């Protein structure tokens, strides 16, 4: 909601810049999408490694 209000304010102050932002936002989102997917995959791999490393301690009764 705050983003929308800021965009409306920008539309009132500088309409060409607001329209440019409106057009470029989906393009930037599409360009950054692969990095988000890689980040999710790396997070999953790191959690898997952490689970494998701490498995012996959890089997022996460590509560973490």
Please, which contacts does 33-40 make with residues 24 or more away whose CB atoms are closer than 8 Å?
none
Helix pair angle (15-59, 2-13), 10° resolution: 160
Is residue 64 domain-resident?
no
Domain boundaries, position 46 = 2-59
pLDDT of residue 61 exceeding 80, the answer is yes
Is residue 40 domain-resident?
yes
Tally of domains within the chain: 1
Tens digits of per-residue pLDDT, 6-58?
A: 999 999 999 999 999 999 999 999 999 999 999 999 999 999 999 999 998 88
Is residue 19 domain-resident?
yes
The DSSP-derived string for 20-46 is HHHHHHHHHHHHHHHHHHHHHHHHHHH
Output the six-digit token pair for 23.
């057009």
pLDDT computed for residue 36 by the predictor: 96
pLDDT computed for residue 64 by the predictor: 63
Q: Specify whether the CB–CB gap between 29 and 36 falls below 8 A.
A: no
């Amino acid at each position: 909601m705050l983003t929308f209000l800021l965009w409306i304010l920008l539309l009132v102050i500088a309409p060409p810049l607001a329209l440019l932002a409106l057009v470029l936002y989906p393009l930037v989102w599409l360009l950054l999408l692969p990095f988000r997917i890689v980040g999710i995959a790396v997070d999953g791999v790191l959690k898997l490694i952490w689970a494998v490393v701490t498995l012996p301690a959890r089997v022996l009764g460590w509560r973490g």
